[in-house]
Amino acid sequence: MVKKKPLVDIIICQKNNKAIISACLDSVKNQTYKRWKCIVVDDHSTDGGCEFIEKKYPFVKIFRLKGKGPSYNRNIGIKSTFGKYIVTMDSDAVLARNWLSEMIKFMEKNPKIGVCSGKILDQNNPDVISIAGGGLSKSGIVYHRGTGQNTNTSKYNQIKKTIYLCSASMITRRKVFDKIGYFDPDYIYSHEDLDICWRTNMAGFDVVYYPKAESYHQMGCTVAKFPSAKLRYLGCRNRILTLLKNYQIINLLKYSPLFIIHFFYLLIFKNHKSAIINAYLWNVKNIKSTINKRNKIQHTRVKSDQELFKLF
């Protein structure tokens, strides 16, 4: 008896991206792996994108939501599906034709992997890497590996376990969400993928960069429409929230001087100072909610911070 291929649910977040959504959806439609379903979660678009998708891409199921951001929206999509794997995509991402085939083959051979992403190339210059996995400093600063490097650079063509992957084109085993919960809807935008990957690692699954699966990305196409002060606020706020939730207490205390130093660095050298202050104040005001989240997260812990530091 032939084994049935696993079902994949592809969840795409979009907001007012009618002009670019065709490239994304065409790449899904043209995948060599065919056992998938596709959902577009629309964040209160006003550009006619939903009507365009309904007409041109009848295979897509659309959820029209009320502007709560990609973290909340992805959760709505995930909870409506039942496939073994969930792919999260941004509407400015495009998959190579064999992306799903490569990913499913790799994930099926490696059941300990919970989250995986491939080599993400610059859509406007596909010989150049946009993101080849990511890393994290002890003070919570996220960085992307390989940005601006040639796609043939050998160090970015090696499989690598990591603490962080970009959710613009990322696959997650459903049982990861069953164990650790979903994206934190309070994030709205920024660091939500770091948070889910950190929690995945903490719970004993592997988070892996797999370069054979390639996709293409127009970095920041959607967030370029955000006010810069809002981006600064969310980036600062969510970085601290992620550290408060996921570090063990001993390391929260140990690295807290770095958090303070970084706060003053931002105030002195960066713009939108009121946004920075409000970001830190938000974490003070919402500390009770954060502690509740933290207690649930720490309950799933299998790996210590010391083990996870090897992935930073």
Task: Give the residue extent of every domain in the chain.
Answer: 9-224, 225-311
Q: Which of the four pLDDT bands, split at 50, 70 and 90, describes residue 226?
A: confident
Alpha carbon distances (Å) from 299 to 202, 249, 302, 312: 10, 13, 9, 22
Q: Which of the four pLDDT bands, split at 50, 70 and 90, describes residue 1?
A: low
Give the CATH H-level superfamily of domain 9-224: Spore Coat Polysaccharide Biosynthesis Protein SpsA; Chain A (3.90.550.10)
Reduced to 3 states (helix: H, G, I; strand: E, B; else coil), residue 311 is: helix
For 30-75, write each residue's pLDDT tens digit.
999 999 999 999 999 999 999 999 999 999 999 999 989 999 999 9
Biggest alpha carbon–alpha carbon distance for the chain:
66
Are 147 and 129 within 8 A, CB to CB?
A: yes
Percent of the chain with pLDDT over 70: 98
**What pTM was estimated for this model as a whole?**
0.96
For 254-272, write each residue's pLDDT tens digit.
999 999 999 999 999 999 9
Q: Which of the four pLDDT bands, split at 50, 70 and 90, describes residue 220?
A: low
Are 147 and 198 within 8 A, CB to CB?
A: no
CA distance 140 to 144: 13
Say which residues have a Cβ less than 8 Å from residue 244's Cβ, sequence separation at least 6: 252, 283, 287, 290, 294
CA distance 162 to 82: 27
Using CA of residue 167, residue 194, residue 164, residue 260, what is the dihedral sign? positive
For residue 25, pLDDT over 70 is answered with yes
Contacts 24+ apart (CB under 8 A), 263-266: 266/236
Name the residue with tokens 């570090």. Answer: 247
Report DSSP letters for 34-60, one per residue.
Answer: --EEEEEEEES--SSHHHHHHHH-TTE
For 130-148, write each residue's pLDDT tens digit.
999 999 999 999 999 999 9
pLDDT at 222: 64
Work out the mean pLDDT of the chain and round it to a whole number. 96
For 170-215, write each residue's pLDDT tens digit.
999 999 999 999 999 999 999 999 999 999 999 999 999 999 999 9
Name the residue with tokens 């790449």. Answer: 27
Name the residue with tokens 């408060």. Answer: 244
Q: What is the mean pLDDT of residues 3-13?
A: 95
pLDDT at 225: 72
Percent of the chain with pLDDT over 90: 96
Are 190 and 231 within 8 A, CB to CB?
A: yes
